[in-house]
A and B are shown apart, each in its own frame.
Chain A
Amino acid sequence: MSLLFWNNPEFVRHRRAELRTTRAITFAAIVLVICVLVWLGCWIERATEMAAMHRQSQQFGKPNGASLAQMDEESPAKVWAAFYSVLMYSQLAVLTFWSLLCCAQSVSGERERKTWDFQRATRLNPPELLLGKLLGEPVLAYFIVACCLPVTLIAAVLGHQYWRSVLCAYLLILLGAVFIGLAGLWMSSLFESRSRGVGLIGTFTLYLLFGFAGKIAEGSHFPGLAAFSPLNGLGSMLDDDGQGYVATIFGSPVSWLRTSALLYVSFGSWFVVMLLRTLKEDFDQIRPLSRWQSVGCAAFLNVTFYALFSPGLKDYSMSARQFATLMVFINGIILFAMGLATVTSYERLKVWWRTRSQKRLSLFAEDGPPWPWLALSGAVAYLLLVWGLFTWKNVLGFDRQTLESGLVQFLAVSIYVTRDVLFIQWSRLTHMRAPVLKGFLYVSLYYVIAMVLSAVFAVHSNSSGQTVLSLLTPAGVLENEVTGFHYHAVVFVGMVTQLAAIVLLLIAIAAKVRHSAVLSAATPD
């Protein structure tokens, strides 16, 4: 695979289609006109400000003549600095939004136009397709940035900006655009044409998250997650006041630029792995990650959370027990997402069923049922919890009771998640339309019912409400007051009940697959 993207056929196709001479000239002219207007806006703002200063000086003697003269002298540089700042934010907005919008419609759009199979039928390999689409789809946005570049550099020089800062700002913008483009491409690869609308809604949600990650993560125990938004990094380079809080990696403050770069590269790599697996696959045969990769991804997410954890907030400090509970909760979500990603298709599960006796370790086969992998991921996540607690022992403390209660919590959460994922796996084997989505909705309905029932019982007494909740959901095990293994008996009863539900689901899945596998193998006339 060549990294010379300008020779990549897919990139060339987009460049030819998007940047015909007249169009390119028009866009370049528009960009220049907008730059002039923005500069005038900055100049007017500064001029108004200075006029006010002069009036103030004449009326009140403040600022005095010397400082006013200095301000007058600095004024042109300030105008250019403000202009530079606006240009940088604008380029960030244009490039990231355009990248996401174009990439998020890329593959699904090709599917809709019925051109995708022809691309798949060519000799372009997935890395080449990925590179071509990633840089080719938003080529117009890159062209706009290229048009802005000389103006930005002039503004940077006249606004007395450091070269290193300019370079870093552009690096951040490019990394952010590539990262969000990858996220868009990944989403697009998972949507068939008819679900393109849903994909677009997801795209805008993702962009809002991307833009406002800083605000979301600001008050959390993981402030470093704010670095998903390039605004923090760019702001730290353009504004003097900074963000008021910092990103930390394993407790050490790290610049927003570095944290963003780290997150973009690491998460972006997972998108690349998923895209390389799926880009040339038929839509019905897409599975973003292999089973081992899913376990790896779950472990990676855990490590990221432990690394970005910040124990102390302004008026609150976390205990080891609370930290463990938080991580168990987060892992419940991670395991569920992983379970969804590893639900096996009907076709593959049937084939696995027919051939399972011929293969060693068939339970851990790629096409087997998802539960052994969930159990494995749960075990890895628990080991990482032990490691995480050990890593943070100086701040949070490290005791046996926390490890014991953490073990029970992990066990319970793994059981509930396994039950839910197996239910969705069973849904996948039915004739429902959009079975995974419907299975997910049924699971959500179950939890809503459990909460309503708990509320109804709580009218009688709080403890009976709690009992119902502990019996039907993993909420009871996430209580922070319990130490060691000393959970209320109802928590264990709930776990045993869910284990029984898992057995029933496995029987139902086996019956369904056995019946279908036998019918298929019989090759009916």
Chain B
Amino acid sequence: MIQLKNVREEFDDLVAVQDLTLSIPAGEIYGLIGPNGAGKTTMIRMTCGLLDPTQGEVRVADVDVLREPERARQFIGYLSDFFSVYDDLKVWEYLDYFAHAYKMPESDIPGRVTEVIAQSGLETKRDSLIRGLSRGMKQRLGIARAIIHRPKLLVLDEPASGLDPKARIELRNQLRSLRDDGATILISSHILTELDRFCTSLGIMEKGRLVRSGLLQDVVSAGSKSRAIRVHWLGDGGAGLQSVLSAFAAVSELKLNTTDGEFHFSGSYDELSQVLASSVVSGVRILSFTEAKQTVEEMYMKLSSHEVM
């Protein structure tokens, strides 16, 4: 759906995006994370055709965004972090305006406006002036605007910025529903837990470069050299477990309490199964022995040096 080839953006003597190459297949929910100034917004704006790259090629749905911007725009829905809406319009008028601006067929527009209003839960506000809506409702209206023309790609730049927890939950639910409808979504966010539950792929940007990119689980596991293993046992098996685990060179950072504990294991899954077997054989009554999945947040904190250009 999105192809960036050697894309570079320079502002004065700053290189905001450095020779970035990225391909996002259709149907992916691609999360983009990175510190402020990493180049996320610049990359997103180039993808939407709002900023011409200094060099390189940007294609959306196989259309060159630079050469055929008007054609490419029919495939893209865009929402930025802090945005405003036309307060002096009614909700339906606002959506009707953008439906026309995206050059949807005239006959489709009234039905689509009604459909999107219902999808956004704004039915009761259809004829209200936008200035009377709450921040969360305006955000929902913003997303409704971005999807009014049924874009194949939805680009969201920090969509949860400035939203209260309730509005964030609403936003997440709305995006989930779009994901279920098969939309490709490129989303940048500082709220890493949101992305954890939501994305299928992840990219980490720093200093204008994509330092990691791929499927969520691959990126998350690639960030760690060892697995965190959590173990629970019954009765007084702590000492026995301690001696069993200490015998394995791949075990590190061992922390055992009275009935549970955690350790890091740098070996393979085969070796890990041997650890479990040895523990059981030594008489420790294991209740659970599970790998503690690393969250995006933990992985990001490990990976990122948090350098800002």
Contact = CB atoms under 8 A, between A and B. Distances in A.
Contacts of A363: none
A9 B94 CA distance: 10
Range class of the B interface residue count: 35 or more
Interface stretch (A12-20, A262-270, A319-327, A501-509): A12-20
B50 A516 contact: no
Interface string A162-191: 000000000000000000000000000000
Interface string A327-357: 0000000000000000001110011000000
Nearest to A120: B50
A114 B207 CA distance: 26
Interface in B6-33: 10-13, 15, 18-19
Nearest to A525: B207
Contacts of B45: 117, 282
Is chain A's binding surface mostly helix, strand, loop or mixed? helix
Interface in B193-227: none
Interface string B95-136: 001101111000000000000000000000000000000000
Looking at A16, A122, A284, A347, the one whose CB has the most chain B CB atoms below 10 A away is A122
Contacts of B97: 9, 12-13
B18 A17 contact: no
Contacts of A198: none
Interface stretch (B69-77, B172-180, B251-259, B288-296): B69-77
B12 A347 contact: yes
A470 B203 CA distance: 63
B88 interface: yes
A122 B148 CA distance: 11
Interface in A267-303: 280-282, 284-285
Given A13-B89, A17-B89, A347-B10, A123 B101 contact: yes
Given A16-B93, A114-B83, A280-B69, A351 B12 contact: no
A315 B55 CA distance: 62
B12 A523 contact: no
A119 interface: yes
A125 interface: yes
Interface in A1-38: 9-10, 12-13, 16-18
Contacts of A345: 12
B84 A121 contact: no
Contact of A122 (B18, B55, B101): B101
Contacts of B84: 113-115
B50 A117 contact: yes
Contacts of A13: 86, 89, 93, 97
B265 interface: no
B161 to A, nearest CB: 12
Nearest to A516: B13
Nearest to B157: A117
Contacts of B78: 117-118, 121
Given A9-B101, A123-B70, A520-B15, A282 B85 contact: no
A17 B88 CA distance: 5
A120 B73 CA distance: 9
A351 B54 contact: yes
B232 interface: no
B129 to A, nearest CB: 10
Nearest to B83: A114
A124 interface: yes
Contacts of B86: 13, 17, 115
B143 interface: no
Given A17-B88, A282-B50, A115 B102 contact: no
Nearest to B51: A282
A459 interface: no
A519 interface: yes
Nearest to A284: B11
Contacts of B54: 347, 351
Contacts of A123: 70, 73-74, 101-103
B82 interface: yes
B40 interface: no
Nearest to A351: B54
Contacts of A17: 86, 88-89
Contact of A519 (B13, B69, B89): B13
Nearest to A355: B55
Interface in B127-186: 145
Interface in A441-500: none
B267 to A, nearest CB: 32
Contacts of B74: 123
Given A17-B88, A114-B83, A114-B84, A122 B98 contact: yes
A111 to B, nearest CB: 11
B91 interface: no
Given A13-B86, A114-B80, A347-B12, A121 B50 contact: yes
A284 B42 CA distance: 13
A332 to B, nearest CB: 30
Given A13-B86, A17-B88, A282-B50, A119 B101 contact: yes
A523 B48 contact: no
Contacts of A115: 83-86
A109 to B, nearest CB: 11
Looking at B10, B98, B101, B102, the one whose CB has the most chain A CB atoms below 10 A away is B101
Interface in B44-68: 45, 48-52, 54-55
B89 A121 contact: no
A119 B52 CA distance: 16
B151 to A, nearest CB: 10
A42 to B, nearest CB: 37
A208 B18 CA distance: 48
A282 B55 CA distance: 16
Contacts of A125: 70
Looking at A10, A114, A347, A350, the one whose CB has the most chain B CB atoms below 10 A away is A347
B96 to A, nearest CB: 8
Contacts of B18: 523
Contacts of A346: 11-13
Contacts of A351: 10, 54-55
Contacts of B69: 280
B13 A124 contact: no
A119 B102 CA distance: 10
B276 to A, nearest CB: 42
Contacts of B80: 114, 117
A135 to B, nearest CB: 16
A189 to B, nearest CB: 15
A118 B95 CA distance: 12
A440 B245 CA distance: 74
Contacts of B103: 123
The 7 closest A-B pairs by CB, nearest first: A122-B101, A9-B100, A17-B88, A346-B12, A113-B84, A347-B10, A121-B78
Given A117-B80, A520-B10, 19 more contacts: A9-B100, A10-B101, A17-B88, A114-B80, A115-B83, A117-B45, A117-B50, A119-B101, A120-B50, A121-B48, A121-B76, A122-B73, A123-B73, A123-B74, A123-B102, A123-B103, A125-B70, A347-B12, A516-B13
7 contacts: A12-B100, A114-B82, A117-B50, A121-B78, A285-B52, A346-B13, A429-B12
Interface of B: 10-13, 15, 18-19, 45, 48-52, 54-55, 69-70, 73-74, 76, 78, 80, 82-86, 88-90, 93, 97-98, 100-103, 145
Interface of A: 9-10, 12-13, 16-18, 113-115, 117-125, 280-282, 284-285, 345-347, 350-351, 429, 516, 519-520, 523
